Amino acid sequence: MSEIGAAPRRDWASAIKPYLEKESLAAFFLGVSSGFPYALIGATLTSRLAQDGIDKKTVTAFTLVFLAYNLKFLWAWVIDGVRLPVLGRLGQRVSWMLLVGLAVIAAVTNLALVDPAADIAWVATSAILVGIAGATFDIVIDAYRIETLRPDQLGVGSGMTQYGWRIGSAGAGALAQVVAARAGWEVAYMTCAAFALPAMLTALVLGEPARRRVAERAKGIGEA
């Protein structure tokens, strides 16, 4: 009887184990950071502008906010091929993760400090900057995730990334609304900028992906 009861427990443990591996958890945290900029320039920004009586549809520049996500392939080669000075010692992926993560935090903070009632054009520009930074963050995150996951982890990793993205997007949007109601939109946006940290910390903890290190060593041998 005990053996019958133990079998389901073993099956349950083996079923959940892939989701608890460090690479799968890394994919989740990367997804959290990937999702939050999208929320802050989407429904959250719409709510913020609505409070000032501004309809995003009346400002043509806002149509460009999400364009960066569709055009990120144009500068993806920079992330893959350009080695950063100083930070580059941490590895190609880790160094770009830290740099772009800081750029996202700076862009979100800039958007936080803009007054829609005073300069709506600069609000639109600031939102576009968040979109560009967020799209670039996506490039780095996707590359880091793919090179970190083993081939047998790609399915679980993809699912964990989607869970993380949705939690990051919904969580940032909800947190912004709650904080804004109590402390204003400036504080709300600057608080949500912390959602960039999970990806940055993941890169620091796990380090440069093993497959990236192998590829760079092979490239070095070929060039030699």
pLDDT digits (tens, 9 = 90+) for 74-114: 999 999 889 999 999 999 999 999 999 999 999 999 999 99
Burial of 213 (0-12, 13-18, 19+ CB in 10 A): middle
**Pairwise CA distance, residues 64 & 68, whole Å:** 8
Which residues, 6+ apart, have CB-to-CB distance to 198 below 8 Å?
29, 30, 32, 33, 168
Element housing 165 (H / E) = helix 154-183
Mean per-residue pLDDT, 126-146: 96
Which residues, 6+ apart, have CB-to-CB distance to 163 below 8 Å?
28, 31
**Pairwise CA distance, residues 224 & 217, whole Å:** 11
What pTM does this model have?
A: 0.87
pLDDT tens profile 51-69 = 888 887 777 778 888 999 9
Cβ atoms 129, 107 nearer than 8 A: yes
